[in-house]
Amino acid sequence: VENIKRRQSKLINSSRLLYQEYSDVALNKAIQSQKRADSLAEDVEPGSPNSPRLRRKGLSPQDSYLQRLSVSSSASLWQDIPMIRGSTVLLTMTREEQKLQEAKFELIMSEASYLRSLNMAVDHFQRSPELQAVLTNQERQWLFSRLQDVRDVSANFLFDLEEKFEENMFNFNVCDVALRHALEFRRVYLPYVTNQTYQEQTFQRLLNGNTGFQQVLERLESDPICQRLSLKSFLILPFQRITRLKLLLQNILKRTRLGADEVVQATQAYDALEKVKGDQAFSPLVAWHHTPLARAGSCSMIFPLISQSRRLVKSGELTALEYNLTVKWKVTTRPIYLHLFNDYLLLSRPKEGGRFVVFDYAASSHMRGEKCEVKLHGANKNVFRLFLLKNNQGKKVEYLFRTETQ
């Protein structure tokens, strides 16, 4: 508590110094814009002493100069800060050094703006009593997923960025902060991305078949505080955020002098963020998970496709061969798409619009392939059998496939 009070006092004193030369017009503009956001700044879990929202209470938007700047288009640059603009230190800095600090400050301001939007999504929409009343528990989970966790991680990230900025406004670092928070980003963003298909399907179903949801959503979105933005535009922000952070780090790295310690930190931070949704094991899963998917027949597989341990090994289209019992030696063919992961195999039929209808699957430990030695009529080279053992049933399912190459 004492530590929070000291931080609060430190930030308030710093804000006063910064504000002493700040124009009344810009200040009033920022205050009016922030008043709307402040009305939503209730704590998520008031009884939890470890809540990131409580930790940030001493650094709430009305006390944070950076938060004020993030809502003022006339003063969103590092050099626009009166304390920076009127300092002799600025005159001693080279143009490249100034550009580097601007790039770092852009990352901070970007996070402040992003957090403000997340606060809107959580406090105005997710925690709306009206909206909760027209949704089931499952619908709320699918629609908002881990959005509250994403917001809290962003709040902690901005908290540390602001502290770094206050330590030295003329030469502050942000890359080490991004590196420290990379694991937390991965912890909350992976589940949120995994849930996207369910989120989109739930949202569309509610729009088409839930009149109460439509009416409540229309009232919430028409509130001036939303600035004509829809709920969907807020929900999509976390999908874009990691990519945006990587671009901001690239811009910092481009302007950092070779050999400087920050080059290593910026590179490590970028690599850490790359692992959140850019590594080779994860990207194919995200790309395929976002593909419109239908399930048909007896296939009742429901499990999160994306996980930290799952990776896509190989995927592609094969030709399934089937004997036509009504015509002797007649073999019919049809295209089948296989997605082989390190733990599961999915069999699907490709449809128009990039869709896949999954009709069968098996765990990797319950499948076996063998070369087909039987001579078939026609150009049926590279033929193999695939056996799937159904869990706890002792039942085998056999498929016959042909490939274009061995």
Does residue 286 form part of some domain? no
- The structure tokens listed for 265 are 């930190």
Q: How high is the mean pLDDT of the chain?
A: 75
Does residue 284 form part of some domain? Answer: no
Mean pLDDT lowest among 87-91, 150-154, 173-177, 212-216: 87-91
**284-332 pLDDT per residue, tens:** 454 454 444 444 444 444 455 655 566 778 888 888 887 655 555 566 7
pLDDT attached to residue 65: 54
Would you say residue 168 lies in a domain? yes
Please compute the mean of the pLDDT values over residues 190-212 and round it to a whole number. Answer: 86
What pLDDT does residue 394 have? 63
Kindly state the average pLDDT of the residues 49-55.
Answer: 39
- pLDDT confidence of residue 237: 92
Percent of the chain with pLDDT over 70: 67
For residue 169, which of 5, 11, 3 has the smallest C-alpha distance? 11
pTM of the predicted protein model = 0.58
Given 225, 252, 278, the domain boundary residue is 278
- Indicate if 269 and 129 belong to the same structural domain: yes
**pLDDT tens per residue, range 148-200:** 999 999 999 999 999 999 888 888 889 999 999 998 998 898 888 878 878 88
Whether residues 273 and 297 fall in one domain: no
Say whether pLDDT at 141 is over 80: yes
Backbone φ and ψ of 339, nearest 5°: -120, 110
- Mean pLDDT is lowest, of 1-15, 68-82, 161-175, 343-357, for 1-15
- Within this chain, do residues 123 and 214 fall inside the same structural domain, yes or no? yes
Q: What residues contact residue 276 under an 8 Å CB cut-off, 6+ apart?
A: 182, 185, 186, 189, 190, 242
Asked, for residue 283, whether it belongs to a domain, the answer is no
Last residue of a domain, one of 251, 278, 305: 278
Amino acid (one-letter) located at 351: K
For residues 109 and 133, state if they share a domain. yes
199 and 325 belong to one structural domain: no
Domain hosting 337: range is 293-402
Question: Over 70: is that where the pLDDT of 220 sits?
Answer: yes
Shared domain for 56 and 121, answered yes or no, is: yes
Q: What is the pLDDT of residue 303?
A: 53
pLDDT at position 234 is 94
CATH of the domain at 253: 1.20.900.10
Structure tokens at 144: 């908002």
Mean pLDDT of 369-391: 75
The fraction of the chain above a pLDDT of 90, given in percent, is: 25
Report the alpha-carbon distance of residue 258 to residue 100 in Å, rounded.
13
Q: What is the pLDDT of residue 282?
A: 45
* pLDDT score at 159: 93
Please, are residues 304 and 197 in contact by the beta-carbon 8 Å criterion? no
Q: How sure is the predictor about 274, in pLDDT bands with cuts at 50, 70 and 90?
A: confident
The average pLDDT across 383-388 equals: 90
Count how many domains the chain has: 2
Q: Using the 3D structure, point to which of 252, 278, 304 is the last residue of a domain.
A: 278
Tell me which of 45-49, 112-116, 157-161 is least confident.
45-49
**Contact predicate 195/287, CB 8 Å:** no
Q: In the block, which residue shows the tokens 């992976």?
A: 190
Q: In this structure, is residue 27 part of a structural domain?
A: yes
- Asked if pLDDT for residue 266 goes beyond 80, the answer is yes
pLDDT at 93: 87
Within a domain: 288: no
- The SS3 of residue 271 is helix
Q: Measuring CA to CA, how many Å separate 339 from each of 187, 215, 221, 356?
A: 26, 41, 40, 11
Q: Classify residue 121: in a domain, yes or no.
A: yes
Q: What is the largest CA-CA distance in the chain?
A: 93
Residue range 64-87: mean pLDDT, rounded: 67
Question: Given pLDDT bands bounded at 50, 70 and 90, which one contains residue 119?
Answer: very high
pLDDT of residue 210: 86
Whether residues 317 and 226 fall in one domain: no
Are residues 310 and 264 part of one domain?
Answer: no
Q: Are residues 93 and 228 in the same domain?
A: yes
Strand segments, DSSP code E, in 225-325 are: 293-295, 312-324
Q: Are residues 221 and 301 in the same domain?
A: no
Residue 218: its pLDDT value, please? 94
User: Is 209 or 21 the better-scoring residue by pLDDT?
Assistant: 209
| 46 pLDDT above the threshold of 60 | no
Q: How far apart are CA 138 and CA 375, in angstroms?
A: 53
Is the model more confident about 209 or about 297? 209
